[in-house]
Structure 1
Amino acid sequence: MQGSIYEKLNYIRYKGMQRMKRKVAAIVLARMNSTRLPGKVLMDICGRSMLGHIIDRLRKVRLIDEIILATTSQKEDEVLLDFAKEEEIKSFAYEGDPEDVVARIREAGEKFKADIMVNVNGDCPLIHPPVVEQLIKALVEHDAEMSTVANLDGKKVIHGGVNVFTLKGWQKVDENSTELYQRQNTTACLLDYPDLLKKVEVKDKPIFYQINHRIWVDTPADLEFMREVYKRLYKPGKIVNLEDVIHLLEKHPDLMEINSHVRQKGLKDKSRKVVFRVDGDEKVGMGHIVRCLALATELQERYFCGVSFIIKGEGGIVEMIREKGFKVEVLPSRISGENEAKRIVDFSRDYGANRIILDLKDEVSPEYIFKLR
């Protein structure tokens, strides 16, 4: 078929009296219950939420017909459905396993009758609109089932979080994702079965291969880095130019030190959740708190752990812990050992923790420890 990319995308073939066209939908994956940084997708970056910046960038891609926010039916994700209404985009609440992103994408694509799906992670506020457009064009022009950004001389491109698929191609991914880790990741199955789909690769400009640094948000350190970049480059009503980001990092390489130590979670790495029960205030001293905060940050940034704290205290101590990005449960100052142990167990169960770390100023009884086991 001859003609421009628009003619190919809008190509009409007749089937009886029904007209059919190829619909391109951006499917943005987002949940509030992120392990390492809960609620990150709605956290503020220069007066706009991270998801808001992603939507702004997708709106710059002329070939996208519809933007769909794909979340879950979990209660904590209802706020994302409200966000979609405010942004005047479509939304989809997947009712199956919240961790099954493969099925969530497939069902969203099927519900909104997408022919081509731009799969977007909701934690990448610097996705690059020009390359998204290139990926869509390449998929159509090569009649492929998947398009992705190629490496250049062994170097990975700095931007990420986006791949393009046909719906039929993604249905193949769904059918072949039989392992749990494959269903929880958008690329795991394709790494295991590289010949599953007809794939085309797109090379981006050389400038985007010059710096190897993470520009997606998984931890408080990543968020701090992103806020600093936006603080220097963002202008309301416009999107941050990714080439300007590269130039900024070349001129100020110290910015990358903010989150260069954060480890990227591997496909088969498991997330864990840990609860710290710790004592500390101005009277008894801050050593326990400071020590546990350092350990919690290490677990979060290097070992893919979600962390919450249970403390006795109030005011400045609570705020200090929350400022580090951790959830805090405050116990009454006067509570029996038995009731305290029960509160810890109940909180840990609700949080989904599989480890409890104690750092207390007073010795506890064997019965207390037994109740926590």
Structure 2
Amino acid sequence: MEAGRMTTLAIVQARTSSSRLPGKVLLPLQGVPLIQFQLERLRRCNRIDSMVLATSTDPSDDALADQVAQAGVAVFRGDLNDVLERFRACAAHEQAKVVVRLTGDCPLADPALIDELVEAFHNGAWDYLANCADEKQLTVPDGFDAEVFKAEVLERAAVEARLPSEREHVTLWMRSAAAGLRWGHFRHQPVRPYYRVTVDDPVDLEVVQQIAAALHPHDPDFGVDAVVAYLDSNPQLAARNLATVRNAGLLKSLAEDAARRPSPGSTTAGQGQALWQRAKQLIPGGNMLLSKRAEMFLPEQWPAYFSRSKGCRVWDLDGRELIDMSIMGIGTNLLGYGHPEVDAAVAATVA
């Protein structure tokens, strides 16, 4: 470590109790567990002084902790659900001054990109800097996310963050107006935020396995630019998991926060309302259709988005069945009646 430089600790967050793909971090990638593949890449970072895997004390994570320890990486175990406190305790235990937050479902993590981010953090005197901080400025594919922040900010977050979403998603409070921090978004070229190389489900895993199989044998140090070039050249592979919602876990947490807030006439706002609040930050008015704006009917409670329809019945993103008694703009106009003969004719036409 250079004299006078703040101790920089990489904390890799991982658990085995994933809801969509349990035990994913221990699934195979190029002959080793996915988490080991990622950690071996992260060891090449030049701007990180030490690295720790932060998992939970839950028995379900015993195998993960053993696997990582055998690979020669330090393991810290803390609360399963209060991830913010787990990070705070880990950083305090390691006496870190600067923390790099990474997640264990991003096996293609690029050490050179992380080094660039850490360098920019120090040069800009930020409290928090990340390449995933601002959804409107995303440049790298989902799966190359990295965040850097001061350990003292983490200590403050652990005290002041109150919402369940802020306890589960470590840096959410840091970007809030209440925090009052100096934070920024780090950009990288080329711009491909719609590509997806994180692992949340079996299709994600297949995509990442194919990328690694194509690139790793020729260049074990391949980075984000090589991944982008490969996906540009293989659009069918790139399209396989594009429909997966980015940050679905965060959306779920925000919906649960909304459900806890008392509102007249309803016990929950649901995922649709959380997604709507996010959309309004990106799209003027939330969408370009006046008749489909949630505020026209029941502000802060209208489901806003729907997964399917059948006749006059629609289902929201939480699976609740509703009757479209408004202007029939959801079932008949937007999603269709779901008549089997019409569906069959359309399927035959586009086949």
Q: TM-score, normalised by structure 1?
A: 0.63
- Name the amino acid aligned to 2:183: K
| Higher relative contact order (CA closer than 8 Å, sequence separation 6+) | 1
Aligned length: 256
Are residue 25 (structure 1) and residue 9 (structure 2) matched?
Answer: yes
C-alpha deviation, 1:114, in angstroms: 0.9
2:153 match: 169
Q: Distance in 1 between matches of 2:154 and 2:171?
A: 11
2:229 match: 247
1:84 match: 68
Question: Where do residues 149-168 of structure 1 align in structure 2 (5 Å cutoff)?
Answer: 149=131, 154-158=137-141, 159-168=143-152
Deviations 1:303-351 (A, max 9, x none): 799xxxxxxxxxxxxxxxxxxxxxxxxxxxxxxxxxxxxxxxxxxxxxx
Deviations 1:247-279 (A, max 9, x none): 11111100023212222305241599xxxxxxx
C-alpha deviation, 1:155, in angstroms: 4.7
2:203 match: 221
- Name the amino acid aligned to 1:44: P
Deviations 1:163-198 (A, max 9, x none): 011110111222221011111112322343375322
Q: Which runs of 5+ in 1 are unaligned?
A: 1-5, 12-20, 273-301, 306-373
- Name the amino acid aligned to 2:198: W
1:151–1:157: 8 Å Cα contact kept in structure 2?
no
Are residue 257 (structure 1) and residue 257 (structure 2) matched?
Answer: no
Bigger-Rg structure (1/2): 1
1:267 match: 250
- Name the amino acid aligned to 2:242: S
Deviations 1:7-66 (A, max 9, x none): 5xx31xxxxxxxxx6211110101111111110011101212211121122111112111
- Name the amino acid aligned to 1:242: V
Q: Distance in 1 between matches of 2:118 and 2:242?
A: 31
Q: 1:203 to 1:260 in 2, by over 3 A?
A: closer
C-alpha deviation, 1:229, in angstroms: 1.1
Q: 1:67 to 1:180 in 2, by over 3 A?
A: same
Q: Distance in 1 between matches of 2:113 and 2:318?
A: 30
4+ residue stretches of structure 1 with deviation over 4 A?
150-155, 302-305
Are residue 135 (structure 1) and residue 131 (structure 2) matched?
Answer: no
Q: Distance in 2 between matches of 1:260 and 1:187?
A: 25
Query: What SS is found at the alignment partner of 2:250?
Result: coil
Q: Distance in 1 between matches of 2:46 and 2:151?
A: 20
Deviations 1:190-230 (A, max 9, x none): 343375322244332x22x1452221111111111111111
1:138–1:200: 8 Å Cα contact kept in structure 2?
no
1:109 match: 91
Q: 1:123 to 1:153 in 2, by over 3 A?
A: closer
Q: TM-score, normalised by structure 2?
A: 0.66
Q: Which runs of 5+ in 2 are unaligned?
A: 257-315, 320-351
Q: Distance in 2 between matches of 1:47 and 1:110?
A: 34
Q: Which has the higher strand share?
A: 1
Are residue 60 (structure 1) and residue 44 (structure 2) matched?
Answer: yes
Q: 1:40 to 1:114 in 2, by over 3 A?
A: same
Deviations 1:271-291 (A, max 9, x none): 99xxxxxxxxxxxxxxxxxxx
- Name the amino acid aligned to 2:51: I
- Name the amino acid aligned to 2:157: V
2:106 match: 124
1:188–1:267: 8 Å Cα contact kept in structure 2?
no
1:56–1:239: 8 Å Cα contact kept in structure 2?
no
Q: Distance in 2 between matches of 1:84 and 1:304?
A: 36
Cα root mean square deviation, aligned: 2.7
- Name the amino acid aligned to 1:269: K
1:61–1:129: 8 Å Cα contact kept in structure 2?
yes
Q: Distance in 1 between matches of 2:164 and 2:125?
A: 30
C-alpha deviation, 1:236, in angstroms: 8.3
Q: Percent identity?
A: 25
